[in-house]
Structure 1
């Protein structure tokens, strides 16, 4: 009985990891590459590592800006929805 529960939990964890990876593979890979290249740059001070740091950092920043714009208090999407609701309310009154 316990072995079956453990196997079910392991299967569920694997499925959740696969779902997370399929949705966020680019961001996760960019963050790992960014941290690894920064760490290696601190050890070696090699100019070759500038390119991976810049590219992976750019990807991480773009995801952060996308997330901020989608979840901000005054995002354009929510303000457009509010404007549509107000205009429909004004037409009926």
Structure 2
């Protein structure tokens, strides 16, 4: 994928993915993000399409991540941290002008 192709992706989905991987529960992820459960379920459906993988399998009341979900999570955490750092630096630089 080229960086320009990112225009076609809702990057907010990645924040939802991170909440899902940490909570392993749609309802708790929704609460954590201050979203409704249907919104997170819809985001999960779009994530499944984006990654062409089920990402989570329901086992009892928990959602167990697939191998692909674990791979994504390992890379995504540092990437989101980097984005937060860049945005924070930009906000700090704007205030000092």
TM-score (norm 2): 0.37
TM-score (norm 1): 0.39
**Greater strand share, 1 or 2?**
2
Q: Which structure: larger Rg?
A: 1
